[in-house]
C-alpha cells in the first residue's frame, strides 16, 4: 500500500521523542514533518538523545499549516493542554486526520472541561466531531474519525480495567475507589518541583492532586457512558520513583455474587480479540511486565472476607497511555492491523 505521510506538531516534548521512534520505524509511514515552535532548525538529537534512528540528525521544521495541508495524511499534535486546540483549529479539515495527545478534546461536556482545565475552549463545535481514542472500546468509531482525542494515561488503564464490569452491570457504579501509581515521566520533561525532580521522587511515593486531578472528569464521563448512569469515583494518584509505568488498584462492590473465575470470564470474553490486552489469572501484573510495550495487563482478586472485588491494571504511561495508543489509533484509521509498528 501507499505509505502514510505523517507529521508531528510539538517535536521537542517527552511524548514526541517516543512517537518519532515508533513512526520512523513503522513499515507503512513516512515521517516527513516534525516541527518545533521554539526550536526550529535545531537538530532533533539535542532534545531526544536516546534516538538511534537516522532521523535524529535532521532538524526541526518551522510550523507550516500550508505544508501540513498539502503533504500530510495524518498529523499528531504533541502540545500541552490549552495550547493544542489552537493547532487543531488551524489544521482541521475533512481531508487530514488529526490525533491530539492533549486533553483538549477528551471531555465532551465543555463546561466540565473549562472548569477542570481552567480555560475557555475556543472550538467547542469540534469536540462534538472528535472521537475518544480508547482503541479497544471505540474501534469502529475510530476507523471513521478525522479527529481523535487520545486518552490520558491514567484513564486508559482505569477505563480498560472497568469496561467489562460496567458493560455487564455487575458492580456498584457508585462505589469505585481507585489508587494509582505513576512513574515520574508522567509529569513531562520540564522540571516540576515535588513531582519529577530527582531529589523529590527518588526512593519516595507522593500523593498529588487528590480530589483535583484533571483526569477525573475524563474517567467519570466514559465510565458513565459504559454504565449508562452517572458515575463518580474516588481517585488518589501518586508519583513513585520509577521512570515509566502506571499501576492501578481498583476497589469495587459486586452487585452479583460470583466466584473469582466468573469475573475473569467477563474480561476474557470482552477482550478476546484485543491484541494489546492480557488477562492474567495466575498472578497480579507488575509494571515491569508492560514497560516499553503497548500492552495493558489486567488481573483481579475477590476478597471473600469483605465481599469486595479488587481489580489491577498496569500500562506504560508513555506508550499505551500515550503515543503507542496514538499509533494504534492511526493504524485503525488507515485500515491497518492495529499492532503494525508496535510489536
Q: Active-site positions? A: 153
Q: Distances from the Cα of 195 to the Cαs of 15, 186, 227, 262, 292, in angstroms?
A: 17, 9, 33, 39, 21
Rounded to whole angstroms, how far apart are CA atoms 289 and 157? 14
Q: Are strands 308-315 and 296-303 parallel, antiparallel or unpaired?
A: antiparallel
Q: Which of 271, 256, 76 is closest to 163 using CA atoms?
A: 271
Bridge partners, residue 29, by sequence: 4
Q: Which of 136, 129, 131, 134 is closest to 148 using CA atoms?
A: 131
Q: Which of 229, 90, 215 is closest to 171 using CA atoms?
A: 229
- Any idea which residue has 469540534 for its cell? 126
Question: E strand or H helix at 301, and its extent?
Answer: strand 296-303
* In contact, 302 and 260? CB cutoff 8 Å: yes
* In contact, 145 and 203? CB cutoff 8 Å: no
Beta-carbon count within 10 A of 214 CB: 17
Bridge partners, residue 238, by sequence: 181, 207
Residue 2, classified by CB atoms within 10 Å of its CB into exposed (0-12), middle (13-18) or buried (19+), is exposed
Rounded to whole angstroms, how far apart are CA atoms 139 and 141? 6
Amino acid at each position: 500500500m501507499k505509505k502514510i505521510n505523517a507529521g508531528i506538531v510539538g517535536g521537542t516534548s517527552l511524548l514526541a521523542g517516543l512517537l518519532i521512534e515508533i513512526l520512523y520505524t513503522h513499515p507503512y509511514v513516512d515521517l516527513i514533518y516534525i516541527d518545533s515552535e521554539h526550536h526550529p532548525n535545531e537538530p532533533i538529537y539535542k532534545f531526544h538523545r536516546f534516538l538511534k534512528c537516522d532521523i535524529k540528525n535532521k532538524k526541526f521544521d518551522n510550523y507550516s499549516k500550508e505544508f501540513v495541508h498539502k503533504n500530510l495524511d495524518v498529523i499528531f499534535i504533541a502540545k500541552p493542554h490549552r495550547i493544542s486546540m489552537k493547532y487543531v483549529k488551524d489544521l482541521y479539515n475533512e481531508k487530514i486526520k488529526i490525533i491530539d495527545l492533549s486533553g483538549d478534546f477528551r471531555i465532551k461536556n465543555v463546561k466540565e472541561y473549562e472548569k477542570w482545565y481552567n480555560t475557555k475552549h475556543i472550538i467547542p463545535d469540534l469536540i462534538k466531531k472528535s472521537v475518544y481514542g480508547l482503541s479497544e472500546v471505540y474501534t469502529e468509531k475510530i476507523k471513521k474519525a478525522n479527529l481523535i482525542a487520545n486518552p490520558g494515561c491514567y484513564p486508559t488503564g482505569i477505563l480498560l480495567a472497568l469496561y467489562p464490569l460496567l458493560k455487564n452491570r455487575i458492580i456498584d457504579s457508585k462505589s469505585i475507589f481507585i489508587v494509582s501509581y505513576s512513574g515520574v515521566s508522567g509529569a513531562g520533561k520540564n522540571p516540576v518541583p515535588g513531582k519529577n525532580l530527582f531529589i523529590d521522587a527518588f526512593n519516595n511515593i507522593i500523593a498529588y492532586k487528590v480530589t483535583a486531578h484533571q483526569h477525573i472528569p475524563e474517567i467519570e464521563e466514559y465510565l458513565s457512558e459504559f454504565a449508562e448512569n452517572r458515575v463518580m469515583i474516588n481517585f488518589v494518584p501518586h508519583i513513585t520513583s520509577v521512570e515509566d509505568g502506571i499501576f492501578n488498584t481498583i476497589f469495587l462492590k459486586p452487585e452479583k455474587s460470583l466466584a473469582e473465575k466468573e469475573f475473569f470470564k467477563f474480561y476474557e470474553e470482552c477482550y478476546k480479540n484485543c491484541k494489546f490486552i492480557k488477562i492474567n489469572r495466575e498472578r497480579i501484573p507488575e509494571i515491569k511486565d508492560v514497560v516499553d510495550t503497548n500492552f495493558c495487563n489486567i488481573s483481579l482478586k475477590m476478597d471473600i472476607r469483605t465481599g469486595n472485588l479488587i481489580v489491577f491494571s498496569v500500562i506504560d504511561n508513555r506508550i499505551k497511555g500515550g503515543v503507542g495508543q496514538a499509533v494504534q489509533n492511526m493504524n485503525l484509521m488507515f485500515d491497518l492491523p492495529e499492532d503494525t509498528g508496535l510489536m
